[in-house]
């Protein structure tokens, strides 16, 4: 049997292309999805990853484009070229200024712009063309995230029998929020083009199913929706991390060097780590406000703790993100001015994408990880922090609005909107005994090391394959469209009609004993019915 081909489709490729002094540069992409899938992708032999390389096509001439295609091809990737205008509408606009805020419950940040949706549709079409170029009947397609929610249907319309999986990396909001979206119907229909729609946690799948019911009036049975001759399954697949990579990171010489630097820098103080993309959904401003309050209320803790803030630059083309940066930087300078001394800076701040060795060294060194997203699909940083702490104490303070919280009940759980709770959590985190810290970490590690990102991908792919077999089996039982046409024609032409609804072979017991394999009724039965 021919081996199946596997296509991964996402907005960004795991490799980003930039141009420096006229020279093309290729570097690994940042962000949750790229991190999660990079290794899974590199392990397969018949795999192709389709996505945008991160540079506008207006900045490239045709020989540069060919070079990008060639270089990416060597890495199992195929680039989708998008113009500045397309990126503005599809990516900055509809994806990050409409869907992202709405799906993270920031209703007032949502921009509803008809042009944005037009751009979104256009780019989804461009992706469709590329996918079709690489798809045959042996191909399974796995589409990722909110940038490409129309794509499953677009592919399905051309290839009715395609095997399509879709995974949403952000929350799917409750119906009351989702219904606010002007294009809610198209988005749901787009997603229903897939055979399998995956979410991080079951609550998101439940919200999706309830929106399908209330907006499209389509019911489900235990998460399976039947549309015509096709079934669509919605289920939860909590994404994991590359556990071994983080568990062994402290042994890498480069990380060890960084650990030494940090230990010197923060000698004598406890470190609280705040690390995320600079995004309003991550609750960084509230986190800073809580830390400021903590310093105010606990003078004895001043000079004894440092909040290490790493904010990774993200979506700086979107005005809300630029404003957020200003707010955060103002807060930080206020705290440092108010409480800092010549020898102690309460908040140490970096606005950049750090190399892996610095990230893992921070995980190793930080006494507390303070992660307070207001909404987060999963939050990989929480999992990575715990995985890094091999036989090492550490405290995780985690928002109950992050998908990860269900798998990490030993973390100190907080409501990110409750300042008091965050302050209390910081205090109790600083006081927690080393033995309790280590015990909690061990318990979380046991779970994280079992359900890794590889298991997650395997699970999804396995279920996708199951839906394909199920579909085929079901297809075998259903009438072909020719048979249906023939029946309808005879029905219309007949003067005397008898409709027999048969379940599981009732009429078979009357089938001629001379032709036991033949499913046509015997003469005896026909005469009886006549
Ligand atoms: C989306 C969803 C969901 C962070 N700082 C640096 C750096 N990172 C890495 C972390 C982690 C990744 O970036 C961030 O992942 P998160 O899951 O925390 O957040 P999002 O980027 O918002 O991801 C999220 C995820 O998709 C996966 O489905 O969990 O809910 O929003 O891996 O380690 N990496 C480097 N330098 C940094 O400074 N190299």
Question: Quick check: helix, strand or coil at residue 216?
Answer: helix
Q: Which residue's CA is the closest to the ligand 1 atom numbered 20?
A: 32
Q: What residues are annotated to the active site?
A: 502
**Residue 510 predicted with pLDDT over 80:** no
For the chain, the average pLDDT equals 92
User: What string of DSSP letters covers 63-110?
Assistant: HHHHHHHHHHHHTTEEE----HHHIIIIIIIIIIIIIHHHHTT-GGG-
* CA–centroid distance, residue 31 to ligand 1 (Å): 4
pLDDT, mean of residues 284-307: 97
The predicted pLDDT at position 504 comes to 64
Q: How far is CA 391 from CA 214, 282, 342, 357, in A?
A: 50, 28, 35, 19
How many degrees, rounded to 5, is the angle at CA 326 between CA 322 and CA 329? 135
pLDDT, mean of residues 78-94: 97
The predicted pLDDT at position 30 comes to 63
The predicted pLDDT at position 34 comes to 66
Q: How far is CA 167 from CA 63, 448, 453, in A?
A: 34, 20, 13
pLDDT, mean of residues 61-87: 95
The predicted pLDDT at position 298 comes to 96
Q: How far is CA 450 from CA 249, 274, 387, 405, in A?
A: 18, 26, 11, 17
Question: Quick check: helix, strand or coil at residue 298?
Answer: coil
The predicted pLDDT at position 1 comes to 57
Q: Which of 10, 15, 32 to mutate to test the pocket of ligand 1 (most atoms within 8 A of CB)?
A: 32
**Sheet containing 77-79, strands listed edge to edge, beginning at the edge strand earlier in sequence:** 77-79, 47-52, 5-12, 139-144, 163-167, 196-199, 230-236, 224-227
Pocket of ligand 1 (CB under 6 A): 30-33, 35-36, 169-170, 239, 275, 277, 310, 312, 353-354, 356, 359, 376-381, 384
Question: What are the two backbone dihedrals, phi and then psi, of residue 156, each rounded to the nearest 5 degrees?
Answer: -60, -40
Atom of ligand 1 nearest to the CA of 171: 30
Atom of ligand 1 nearest to the CA of 239: 28
The predicted pLDDT at position 483 comes to 81
* CA–centroid distance, residue 135 to ligand 1 (Å): 30
Give the number of other CB atoms < 10 A from CB of residue 455: 15
In whole angstroms, give the CA distance from residue 418 to residue 287.
10
Q: How far is CA 363 from CA 28, 57, 446, in A?
A: 20, 37, 18
Helix-helix angle 284-297:319-339, to 10 degrees = 10
Characterize the bridge pairing of strands 5-12 and 139-144. parallel
**Contacts for 214 with CB less than 8 Å, ≥ 6 apart:** 175, 179
The pLDDT tens digits for 394-443 are 999 999 999 999 999 999 999 999 999 999 999 999 999 999 999 999 99
Torsion of CA 417, 418, 423, 427, to 10 degrees: -110
Cβ burial, residue 114 (10 Å; 0-12/13-18/19+) = exposed
* CA–centroid distance, residue 240 to ligand 1 (Å): 12
* CA–centroid distance, residue 34 to ligand 1 (Å): 9
Give the number of other CB atoms < 10 A from CB of residue 50: 22
The predicted pLDDT at position 514 comes to 52
The pLDDT tens digits for 431-477 are 999 999 999 999 999 999 999 998 999 899 999 999 888 877 776 66
The predicted pLDDT at position 279 comes to 96
Q: Which of 16, 29, 33, 35 to mutate to test the pocket of ligand 1 (most atoms within 8 A of CB)?
A: 35
**Residue 33 predicted with pLDDT over 70:** no
**Contacts for 530 with CB less than 8 Å, ≥ 6 apart:** none
User: Does pTM surpass 0.85?
Assistant: yes
The predicted pLDDT at position 524 comes to 82
**Residue 127 predicted with pLDDT over 90:** yes
């Amino acid at each position: 049997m021919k081996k199946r081909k596997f296509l991964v489709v996402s907005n960004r490729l795991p490799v980003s292309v930039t141009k420096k002094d006229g020279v093309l540069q290729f570097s690994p992409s940042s962000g949750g999805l790229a991190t999660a899938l990079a290794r899974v992708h590199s392990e397969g032999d018949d795999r192709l990853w389709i996505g945008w390389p991160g540079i506008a096509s207006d900045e490239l001439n045709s020989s540069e484009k060919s070079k990008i295609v060639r270089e990416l091809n060597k890495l199992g990737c195929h680039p989708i070229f998008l113009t500045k205008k397309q990126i503005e509408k599809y990516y900055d606009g509809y994806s990050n200024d409409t869907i992202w805020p709405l799906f993270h419950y920031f209703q007032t940040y949502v921009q509803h712009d008809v042009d944005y949706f037009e751009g979104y549709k256009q780019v989804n079409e461009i992706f469709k063309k590329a996918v079709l170029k690489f798809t045959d009947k042996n191909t399974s397609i796995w589409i990722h995230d909110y940038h490409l929610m129309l794509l499953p249907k677009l592919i399905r319309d051309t290839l009715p029998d395609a095997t399509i999986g879709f995974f949403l990396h952000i929350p799917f909001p409750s119906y009351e929020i989702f219904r606010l979206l002007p294009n809610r119907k198209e988005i749901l229909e787009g997603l229903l083009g897939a055979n399998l729609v995956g979410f991080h946690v079951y609550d998101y799948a439940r919200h999706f199913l309830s929106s399908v019911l209330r907006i499209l009036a389509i019911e489900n049975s235990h998460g399976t929706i039947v549309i015509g001759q096709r079934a669509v399954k919605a289920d939860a697949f909590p994404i994991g991390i590359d556990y071994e990579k983080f568990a062994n990171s402290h042994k890498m010489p480069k990380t060890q060097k960084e650990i030494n630097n940090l230990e010197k820098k923060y000698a004598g103080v406890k470190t609280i780590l705040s690390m995320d993309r600079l995004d309003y959904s991550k609750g960084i401003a509230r986190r800073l406000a809580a830390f400021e309050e903590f310093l105010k209320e606990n003078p004895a803790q001043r000079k004894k703790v440092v909040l290490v803030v790493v904010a990774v630059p993200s979506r700086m083309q979107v005005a809300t993100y630029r404003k957020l940066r200003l707010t955060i930087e103002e807060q930080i300078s206020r705290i440092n001015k108010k409480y800092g001394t010549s020898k102690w800076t309460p908040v140490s701040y970096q606005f950049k994408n750090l190399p892996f060795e610095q990230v893992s060294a921070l995980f190793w060194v930080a006494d507390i990880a303070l992660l307070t997203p207001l909404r987060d699909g999963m939050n990989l940083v929480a999992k990575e922090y715990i995985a890094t702490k091999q036989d090492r104490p550490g405290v995780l303070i985690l928002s109950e609005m992050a998908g990860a919280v269900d798998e990490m009940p030993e973390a100190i759980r907080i409501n990110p909107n409750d300042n008091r709770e965050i302050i209390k959590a910081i205090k109790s985190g600083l006081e927690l005994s080393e033995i309790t810290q280590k015990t909690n970490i061990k318990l979380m590690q046991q779970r994280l090391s079992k359900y890794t990102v590889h298991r997650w991908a395997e699970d999804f792919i396995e279920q996708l394959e199951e839906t394909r077999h199920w579909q085929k089996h079901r297809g075998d039982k259903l009438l072909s469209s020719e048979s249906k046409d023939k029946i309808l024609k005879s029905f219309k032409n007949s003067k005397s009609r008898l409709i027999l609804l048969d379940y599981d072979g009732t009429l078979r017991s009357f089938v001629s004993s001379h032709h036991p394999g033949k499913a046509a009724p015997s003469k005896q039965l026909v005469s009886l019915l006549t």
